[in-house]
Each structure stands twice: as C-alpha cells, then as structure tokens.
Structure 1
C-alpha cells in the first residue's frame, strides 16, 4: 500500500500541479505577509493548495471508490467543483474586508485570495503555462504597480466638515473661496443648520495632492475667522493617519 501511495504521488499529473500551487501560494502570500495583511503566507498557500487538491480530486472521479447500481454510470462534472471553490473563497474574502470610518480596507487582500484560488484551479486542470502567466501578472499588479503609483502624484479624496456660527462671517461662499485659493475644486456643499445651538455645519469633499496640501488647507481653515471647528478626513487613502482637526 505504501509503495502504491508513493508511486501515485510521484506521477506527474499529481506532483507537478500540487508543488506548483504551493509555490504560487507562497509567492503571493509572501507579498501580503510582508505588507502586514490579515491574510498572509499561510492563508494564501493553503488556499492555492486546497484549490488544486480539490480540482484534481474532481478531475479524477473515475478513481473514486463508489458502488454503482446496476446499469448506471458515473457522470463527472469538474466544473461544479470550481464553482464551489470560488464561492467558498468569497466567504473567506469577506472576512478580511473591514470598514474603518469612511475608508474600506482589505479589498486587495480579498482579491488576492480569489485569484490565488483561481490559479490553484488552473494548476489542477493541468494548464501550467496559463497558471504561471497568471502568477506573474498577479505579482506585477501587487508589487510593481504599487511602486509605479508611488512615483505618481497622489490624489487623496478628503471629506471636509466645518462648524461655524449661524449668520456669522464664514459661510458656504467663504468655504468655496478658501478651496479655490488652495487650488482645490469642490462638489456641492451640504449645509446643516441647528437653530437651538446656533451653528451651521458645512460639508463637502475634494481631492488633495498629498499630505502637504491637506496641511495647507488645515492652516487656511485655522486662520479663517468665524470657524468654531473643522475636520479634514481622508476617505480613500489606506496609509493616511488621523484626520486633521481644528
């Protein structure tokens, strides 16, 4: 029995896809691990290996030990296994996505888990060159494109909230003037009036070119007369720190 097991594992149609899926999971997982993501080396390796293992199992259903009724036959459909794998990975990916204030984190890690499972399936059906090409493309997207984006001017969407005295010197036109002086555009400015407290709350969103422009906007708001408080909150920059407040 042991000899049969070793001989079966040594066959190319099992060994090559399993080892290849392990290598792919390690490479993608290492990139996520080095970036401190919740799903890292072990998770991606297990996902890719499990996807290949299940795909191989489905592809060799003729080797299953089953008892068939007379005049019946075993009909195989490996595609169902692929559907089940990718559906299950969807639940796993949902576990690494979380919301922190206005920002959503974990989308890239969830996508990397999904593509890792897909690559495991491709290895399982024996399309090795396609799987290798997919692995290289995934690593390029995760690593090289991030380096390229780091060299480009960063535009961070920020949400601006200003609290001022109702009927005071600072109003929506004054906010537009400050945004224009800082070289920023704005969307529609929402206005919320509280009669009992006597305050007017102005909210809008705009795009800033990096933290320097955010700091400049914060300084301009701090100097403006009539402002009781303000908050500048980045909404789409996962590397951003705490919102600027005044």
Structure 2
C-alpha cells in the first residue's frame, strides 16, 4: 500500500526583481493506494496533478507531508526496490531519444539495472515478450521514433515502463495526446496489462470518461487538495458541487471508451 499524508509543495513565483512570492501547488494532499487498485487523480490544468506524480516518482521533493510504501518511507523504499516504480508520460515524443532505435529505447531501463555475462540474452527475451504484449511486430525494433504513429510510440513507452517488472505504474496524462480512437485502444491494452502483470496504477488525467473507464477509484484534485474520493460505481454519491458538475457532464452520454475497438499497430 502507498499512503500519502498531508503532502505539500510550493514554488517561487517571480513577480519582478524584488518581489518573490510562493505559489502553493499542493496544500495538503492525502490518499492511499492499495495493491491492485487503479486510482484516478482527476483535475484541471494547474491543479497539481503532474507535481504529485513527480514527487511520487522521486523526481521532486515535497515541502511537507509523508509518503510511505508498505510502511517504509517513500525514498527508502524506492532505493531498495529499483525499477518497481515506473511511469508512462504524456508526451511520447519528448520522453524518448529520437536518435535511438526502439530496441535501445525499450532496453534502457534494463541496462541501468541489469548487467552480467548473460544480460544481453535476457534483455532480448524480455524485449521480444513485451513487443508481443503491446502488439507491435519485432521488426519494428530497428525503427526510430519518427517512423511511428503516436499510438505506436506510446505502446513502445508502455513496453519500456514494464521492462523492470514494476509493481506500481504512474500514468501521467498517458493518453491525452492521442486521437480518441487510439485512446480507446491504449486504455484496453492497459487494462489487460494490469491484470497480466498484477500492476497497481495511479492514473493521472483531466478526462473523467477515460479515468472512469479504467479506474476503480477516483480522487478529485482542485487547488492543490483532494476535495473528494469516489468509487467508480458510485458516481451519484458525489457530495462536492464541483464533482457533481463533472459527473453530470458525462452521465447523459455513453462512454466513448466502452465501444469495442480492435488493436491496430497502424494506430
């Protein structure tokens, strides 16, 4: 279990040479994430979603509050469990090296964690298995990022995130840059992978329909604090007026992600 309590984060906001103020991004965020869960963090741009994900990944430090995993302090747990906390970012173009082949992109985490006499053969086996799971042909490993569509490249990023067999996967706006039809395919793939690899997801997004499709719990982040949490089967129990407005905006329509979509490597 991941337990987050009273997490706080501020940045300096320059308003001239002598006027430095603090911009409070997270002002007391608390939640828990059980093994096997898919918790959706929903919020508008600027609500603190990406800052929260970077702190959880250890890319930034908080100003206050605590994060514990299995009762162990967050940073200590990550140090002791290298590769068990992974991420898929929103911008699939800038999160890969454009000068590397897909093979090298996917292999990068393995090279950082694994070495030894048989490492290369082990890497080849893992890469081949993951290419099959994200439904990309093996001969694509020779290609470069610019030769792929957005959906294909995001599949590569998902494969890379799974190479170390993580326990937790942060999906930071992982589908928001994709076309709607491709979003549906990627969401279906993520649901399958969660079951197969026994993953725990933290799914960060602003699109409530997408989050409701894949997650079992939702947390609504606004102005740096979680204002309400809901089970995805109990939308009508929302108490906050802000959350009610969001929920009512999608209830009259059938979710676009419930339509059956076939996986297609051309997307």
> Which is higher, the Rg of structure 1 or of structure 2?
1
TM-score range, shorter chain: under 0.3
TM-score, normalised by the number of residues in structure 2: 0.23
**Structure of greater relative contact order (alpha carbons < 8 Å, 6+ residues apart):** 2
More helix by share: 1
